[in-house]
Amino acid sequence: MIEVKNLHKKFGKLTVLDGLDLSINEGGIFAVLGPNGSGKTTLIKCILGMVIPQDGEIIYDSESILGKSDYRNKINYMPQIANFPANLTVLELIEMVKNLRPKPANEDDLIALFGLESHLEKKLGNLSGGTKQKVNIVLAFMFDSNLIILDEPTTGLDPIALIHLKKLIQKAKSQGKTILVTTHIMSLVDEIADEIVFLLDGKIYFKGSVSKLKEETGEKHLEHAIANLLKKQYV
């Protein structure tokens, strides 16, 4: 479904992606892991066209996407930090995003699910971080797209909202969609991820299922397995 070939990205002198190759098949939950600064967000932003790579190619649905914009209609994205225009109300924001995307949306169920009805008329600048994150989730899940990209989706969420989020992810998976998640919460990865993509120094360091990772590293816990991966690197 997504084919990333030989992706290079430098910010100034800092090399973030260094000839990265990645192939992701349709269906399933993919956890993109890696230490801070390993290029997770850069990779995602490259796929979204927000960061422009120096070299390489990204193919989505058998089409090259670099320099294009229409393909984003087939991707739902939830950014890492829920920053919204402070002057807009929640409802206006949702209406605006709907207006900008030429496809149907089912925001009402999601609003009810996260109990946002009472916040709809409030300005985004006045919302708490957690509530903003909920709005962020609504925006990411209200369209029916085959690829959903979630960048640190759990930040600031209360336990109930977290349960709802996990359900939403599972539901999307059951509909045959592809979900790309970056996170530092290993329990979440353990719980939902079908496959792990481990980034290090701008390259794919490991790609495979959770069990495969545990097997290779000989660790029972995912956290330890990841730590083990890193340790090997530094030996």
Partner 1 sequence: MFKILKYSFFDLMRSSWSYVYFAFYLVLGFVLLFLNNDVSKAVITLMNIIIVLTPLIGTIFGVMYFYNSKEFTELLLAQPIKRTTIFMGQYFGVSVSLALSLILGLGIPFLAYGLFQSSAIFEFGLLLVVGTFLNFIFVALAFNIALSHENKIKGFGYAILMWLFLAVIYDGAFLISLVIFDDYPLDKFSLIATMFNPIDLSRILILLKLDISALLGYTGAVFKQFFGTSLGFVLSLGVLGLWVILPVWRINMKLRKKDF
Binding site for partner 1 (CB under 8 A): 11, 45, 48-52, 67, 69-73, 75, 77, 79, 83-88, 96-97, 99-102
Residues 89 and 96: beta-carbon distance below 8 Å:
no
How far, CA to CA in Å, does 148 sit from each of 76, 145, 153, 181? 5, 7, 11, 8
Q: Which is nearer to partner 1, 80 or 228 (CB)?
A: 80
Q: What is the DSSP letter of 3?
A: E
Distance of closest approach, residue 51 Cβ to partner 1, in angstroms: 4
Q: Which is nearer to partner 1, 41 or 217 (CB)?
A: 41
Q: Looking at 75-158, list the stretches that DSSP marks H as alpha helix, in order from N- to C-terminal side.
A: 90-100, 107-113, 129-141
Q: Which is nearer to partner 1, 54 or 233 (CB)?
A: 54
Q: Which is nearer to partner 1, 77 or 206 (CB)?
A: 77
User: Three-class SS of residue 102?
Assistant: coil
Distance of closest approach, residue 80 Cβ to partner 1, in angstroms: 10
Cα separation of the two ends of the chain: 35
Distance of closest approach, residue 4 Cβ to partner 1, in angstroms: 17
Distance of closest approach, residue 29 Cβ to partner 1, in angstroms: 20
